[in-house]
Amino acid sequence: MMKKTITFLSFVCFMMILSACGNKSVFTPTSSGRPYEVLVVVNADMWESPAGRALFDVLDTNVPGLPQPERSFRISNTDPKHFNQILRIFRNIIIVDISPNYTQSKMKYSRDVYAVPQMIMTIQSPDEQSFVDFVHQHSQTIVNFFTRVEMNREIELLKKKHNEMVSNYVDSIFGCDIWIPTELQSKKVGKDFFWTSTNRVNADLNFVMYAYPYVDKNTFTLNYFIHKRDSVMKINIPGEREGMYMETDSLHVSSKDISVRGDYAMEVRGLWDVKNDIMGGPFVSHARVDQVNGRVVVVEAFVFSPDKLKRDYMRKMEAALYTLKLPKEEELPEIVINADDDIQEEKIDTARISDNK
């Protein structure tokens, strides 16, 4: 697995389409690679060393909240001497730069250096052991960074084309706005409740939105959230027969505090099932305070895909949750990719990459 190399040059060549983007030149090529795929530029021997293994293990971690193990990223690698014009247009790149010229380890990133859209992270360290220690210490930062980068790309697509039907219902019911993929067309409306779905037998994507009064800080405890979620789902998402309804798998659910548009939100992710039935799958929710109306607004994505991998479906829908605009909020520019403050944007030293050859 560690010896995985690039074997899709013909495909990449086909993807080298010239495009205009923002202030970039019209001769800037479109980036290649699939979403959540990362190319690591590292000396071949070092890739097989503890330093390479440390970075591989970080990128190879499982996505949280899924019923089966699924890796966070697809990983490819190339030696710097093979990092040519074809590979430079990869969408996500990590450059390993280990040199005694450095006094400490650090991370930095640069946007759209060789292609659009593109993100290049450089990890610098004075020696291999320092690199290993640094990568272990900042493992979650690395995973979060590229996950947010990809979600921002999905948000940019939603900005250009999203579900107007959903936006209209969300506005009329909640006085809010949100960008949801266009393929969700089936809908159900309830009291302070909206549900839309692709209504597919397999790979069924779902979006749910509901609201309830904000009481106090205990409103944002996991137990309170599960109680509210289960009561809403029991009423609004019943099963095929009496006594069947969606519920939260309380043994496989977790929460954490996040920031959305600079304000507090509670992220809850885990598994759902249908009581007295065999249906189930993953979900992720954002619970936020609507200060204008004194209420909690919850947006949730869940997937039913018993025979398929679920990572890409869930991440696509999760990106949409970040586009929720509460009353009097401004449009979201993008998810903050360096929220951990462990990585800063700097211009990349392209000559340094050549020196590593």
Query: Per-residue confidence at 7, pLDDT binned at 50, 70, 90?
Result: very low
Domain ranges of the chain: 37-158, 162-322
The domain defined by 162-322 folds into Protein Transport Mog1p; Chain A (3.40.1000)
Report whether 167 contacts 59 (CB < 8 A): no
pLDDT of amino acid 48: 97
Nearest to 33 by CA among 112, 90, 117: 90
Over 70: is that where the pLDDT of 17 sits?
A: no
Tokens matching residue 171: 């506005």
Lowest mean pLDDT among 43-57, 154-168, 227-241: 227-241
What's the mean pLDDT in 126-133? Answer: 98
Over 90: is that where the pLDDT of 292 sits?
A: yes
pLDDT of amino acid 280: 94
CATH class of 37-158: alpha beta
Helix ranges (DSSP H) in the chain: 9-15, 44-47, 50-59, 128-137, 139-160, 164-174, 222-236, 311-321, 350-355
What's the pLDDT tens digit per position in 301-354? 999 999 899 999 999 999 999 999 999 998 877 898 887 678 889 887 766 665
pLDDT of amino acid 351: 65
Lowest mean pLDDT among 130-134, 219-223, 274-278: 274-278
Over 80: is that where the pLDDT of 300 sits?
A: yes
Letter for the amino acid at 230?
D
Query: Per-residue confidence at 21, pLDDT binned at 50, 70, 90?
Result: very low
pLDDT of amino acid 305: 94
CATH topology of 37-158 equal to that of 162-322? no
CA–CA separation, 112 and 228 (whole Å): 43
What's the pLDDT tens digit per position in 247-258? 999 999 999 999
Over 80: is that where the pLDDT of 243 sits?
A: yes
pLDDT of amino acid 3: 47
What's the pLDDT tens digit per position in 186-238? 999 999 999 999 999 889 999 999 999 999 888 999 999 999 999 999 999 98
168's CB contacts (< 8 A; 6+ apart) are none
Over 90: is that where the pLDDT of 8 sits?
A: no
What's the pLDDT tens digit per position in 85-99? 999 999 999 999 999
Over 90: is that where the pLDDT of 181 sits?
A: yes
Q: In the predicted model, what is the mean pLDDT of the chain?
A: 91
pLDDT of amino acid 313: 97
What's the mean pLDDT in 278-290? Answer: 96
Q: DSSP secondary-structure letter at 152?
A: H
pLDDT of amino acid 355: 59
